[in-house]
Amino acid sequence: MTFLIACLHGLRTPRGRRELDRFLKFSVVGTWGFIVDFSVLNFLMFVAHFPAWLANTCSFSIAVLNTFTFNRLWTVPESQQRLVSRQLAQFFTVSLIGYAINEIVFLSSHALVWRYLLPATFAWNLAKATASGVGLSSHAWTQYSFTVTGTGTDLLSFRAVGTSDSYGGSLDAVRVIAAPVPEPETYAMLLAGLLFVGFAMRRRHA
């Protein structure tokens, strides 16, 4: 409940509203990318009669280029300050992994499952949906946990490598839990207490 209240409070700040707006734009662009991907795939397979692997390659590439363009021009307009050729190269390099996963799941899920359950059109589209779902899950956030020991006056900073866009890194939901560390005086008092207890027990036995 406390975390939810903190999130709602964060959305009231200018930065929070800006990030929410960017998230909504990401969602719109991502949805449009799915529509483009499925539309091109169906046209190439069932109208132009391309082989499935080639149709999926073309539809995936067009959807990736579409996503890149809209994110650069609309979602993250400040990224236009960087060279488009370098951004596009980085984006497609990262997308190669997604393409490999998409192609393998697309062809294998159709061959092993969907072709036996549904007509060709529905089977191929469900195979595409399966591949897209697996690819989407591979872009999920990764949680890390670190233990840092400081003196009480150290500065702890966090930084994401890249930019907060579709071809960089992002950092979110950082939580710092300060564990109490005993001061030297505490250890001295503990040691003195143990010595006193030991001395008292020895005198009692004597």
pLDDT above 90: residue 58:
yes
pLDDT average, residue stretch 151-160: 63
CA dist., res. 170 & res. 10, Å (int): 17
Q: Tokens representing 200?
A: 């008292």
- What mean pLDDT is predicted for residues 165-181? 53
Highest mean pLDDT among 8-12, 17-21, 167-171: 17-21
CB atoms within 10 A of CB 109: 19
Report the alpha-carbon distance of residue 60 to residue 66 in Å, rounded: 10
Lowest mean pLDDT among 30-39, 58-67, 131-140: 131-140
116 has a pLDDT exceeding 60: yes
